[in-house]
Amino acid sequence: MRSRKSIAVLLLLILPLGFSAVWRLQHQIDRQLDRAEEENDDVLLRSGKLVRVLSLEYGTFLADVYWTRAVQYFGLKRFRQAMSMDMLWPLLDLSTTLDPHLLVAYRFGCFFLAEPTPQGAGQPNLAVMFVQRGIAANPEYWRLYQDLGFLYYWELRDYQKASEAFLEGSRHPDALDWMKVMAAKIAGEGRSRETSMFLWRQIYESTKDDTIRKNAFNHVQLIKAESDMEQLDEILFEFEQEHTRLPDGFGELIRLGLLPGRPLDPAGYPYALSTLGKVEFDPKSPLAITTKKR
């Protein structure tokens, strides 16, 4: 009984000290973050491993804290259309150094890094390195190969490496069959609308993450709209060749039997026709907003 009381007293003494140490550590890192942001240096990048040692058993907790900060930082910079996201990589590096198994940081952070400015950091090569680091720390998680394939396919347009990434990921026993199909399609076709549509549909149907699912759905709609616009442009070109002028609008094309009705985008909004005879999204369409953000 006496030993139990001693342990309880000891815990009451140690726990406050532990939380106090975490608070002091976080406060110190906060000051470093502020200085780094003001001076545009790489203090945090160099201190990641040291912070991991100092954090003791609170490493995973601090990793979550700094991943949250990375998301907040990215969201704020993107909202402000900032041309520089200098602190994004130090925050991602710190969070995954503290917890190398923080999968969400690799999966979303790589695309934060890869997207062109001002929507992202504009560093696709760094994003590739980041995912490769995630794969090295989590070789059993096949979806990181999927993300690596995405980066090579969309951001770097390196179709051989994209195919290799999908193929390597497909060898994992838990990987979905479409990974192997994707590897073959990219190897044979490179980049094509059909390949992109296939890929996004597979992501949409297979993921359970609402954010990834919504992103995939938006891309499917945009690819469909791209196909629609291409067909409408062909009709406009034929009209102009025959009449040596642009049509007054889609109504004239409908009256001539060139269109069955007012063309709608995948979101259900009517396409618009510019004064230059180009097919555009209706400004109210959510696809028009998505296109502006890309």
Which sequence spans correspond to the domains of the chain?
25-207, 222-293
Q: What is the mean pLDDT of residues 122-126?
A: 96
Q: For the chain, what is the mean pLDDT? A: 82
CB 148 within 8 A of CB 132: yes
pLDDT digits (tens, 9 = 90+) for 232-277: 999 999 999 999 999 989 999 999 999 999 999 999 999 999 888 8
C-alpha–C-alpha distance, residues 150 and 166, integer Å: 9
Of residues 161 and 276, more confidently modeled: 161
pLDDT at position 44: 47
State the pLDDT confidence band at 46, using cuts at 50, 70 and 90. very low
Cα dist. 156→161, 168, 180 in Å? 10, 18, 20
What stretches of the chain adopt beta strand conformation (E)? Answer: 272-273, 279-280
pTM for the whole structure: 0.64
- CB burial of 3-42 (b: ≥16 within 10 Å; e: otherwise) equals eeeeeeeeeeeeeeeeeeebeebbeebeebbeebeeeeee
pLDDT digits (tens, 9 = 90+) for 12-44: 555 555 555 555 666 665 555 555 444 443 444
C-alpha–C-alpha distance, residues 202 and 199, integer Å: 5
C-alpha–C-alpha distance, residues 261 and 258, integer Å: 9
In this structure, whether the domain defined by 25-207 belongs to CATH 1.25.40.10 is answered with: yes
